[in-house]
Amino acid sequence: MKIQESAENYLETILVLQKKNEHVRSIDIANEMGFSKPSISEQMKKFRENGYINVDGNGYITLTDKGIDVAEKVYERHEMIAQVLMDLGVDKETAYQDSCRIEHVLSDTTFSCIKQYYLSNKK
């Protein structure tokens, strides 16, 4: 399964919800992302079949190691890019909105260079 931008957003959302709450259910993801429960259920089925999540008997969703790898990569990009934009003077809301789009199109090489530059020049 090739991970598309929307799938990355789903996995990142699950990671963020897991950081906030003990348990994550499909309805929590639907509420957070503003999508319908059937859309979420369909995507969760694909993730489960492809080894990105586990769903227990109570309907609680957890990321597998494979899912965590993708989610943490996207989350790191999202947070780092938003911080760089805010440091450049972009307001927080716009920085996070723009970061959410930028994070998916940057190559690993470009992101690595941005991260290295930012961290070495941050005071």
- 101 and 61, same structural domain? no
- 42 and 27, same structural domain? yes
pLDDT tens figures, 11-51:
999 999 999 998 999 999 999 999 999 999 999 999 999 99
Handedness of CA 101, 11, 88, 106 (dihedral sign): negative
CA 123 to centroid of chain Cα atoms = 27
Domain carrying residue 78: 73-121
- 47 and 88, same structural domain? no
pLDDT tens figures, 83-122:
999 999 999 999 999 998 898 888 999 999 999 998 898 7
pLDDT tens figures, 43-59:
999 999 999 999 999 99
* Cα gap 123→108, rounded to integer Å: 24
- Angle, alpha carbons 37-39-42 (nearest 5°): 105
- 64 and 15, same structural domain? yes
Indicate the residue among 47, 69, 91 that finishes a domain: 69
Question: Is this structure's pTM higher than 0.95?
Answer: no
Indicate the residue among 52, 69, 86 that finishes a domain: 69
- 108 and 84, same structural domain? yes
CATH number of the domain to which 38 belongs: 1.10.10.10
* Cα gap 53→17, rounded to integer Å: 14
Handedness of CA 14, 22, 81, 92 (dihedral sign): positive
